[in-house]
Amino acid sequence: MIYAQSTISLGIEIVVLGLLLTAVFLKTQKKYKLHGTVMLSAVVLHIISILVVMVPSFGAFFSAPSSVDYANIFTILTLVHVSSGLLAALLGIWLVSSWHFQTNLQPCFGRKRFMDVTIVLWSLAIALGIVLYLAIIQAI
């Protein structure tokens, strides 16, 4: 069961990564409205993946906190993955929602530093997610 859920989540996150790369390309083409729409799609898919697969997996993993080995590299990677992914998701929600309610796109350019931080956190979370996925399928 965990293998199927992890595979579905990885598939969704690969689609999200493709959307992120597409959105960055659109931004370089100065297609800002389309960039925002693609980012909205990425955020929605990411939130679905978090709620449907990742939260239950994280809950199961840490269901008995006293038995979790916090010195284990797998545990540390999981915590960094969860932290960076959650921060990226929250920033993504804020950025997309603040963009979505704008009629003038000019204020969005002032959030570029937040966008840069978000993309770095999101990339880190996806990379660690792939590492964790490989560790999970290796253990099965």
Q: Tell me how many domains the chain contains.
A: 1
Percentage of residues in the chain with pLDDT exceeding 70?
A: 86
Q: Which residue has the higher pLDDT, 138 or 62?
A: 138
pTM equals: 0.80
Q: What is the DSSP string of the chain?
A: -HHHHHHHHHHHHHHHHHHHHHHHHHHHTT-HHHHHHHHHHHHHHHHHHIIIIIHHHHHHHTSSGGG--TTSHHHHHHHHHHHHHHHHHHHHHHHHHHHHT-SSSHHHHTTHHHHHHHHHHHHHHHHHHHHHHHHHHHH-
pLDDT-based confidence at residue 9 (cuts at 50, 70, 90)? confident
pLDDT, residue 100, reads 64
pLDDT digits (tens, 9 = 90+) for 49-66: 888 888 887 777 667 667
Q: Which residue has the higher pLDDT, 95 or 140?
A: 95
In which domain, by residue range, is 72 found? 2-139
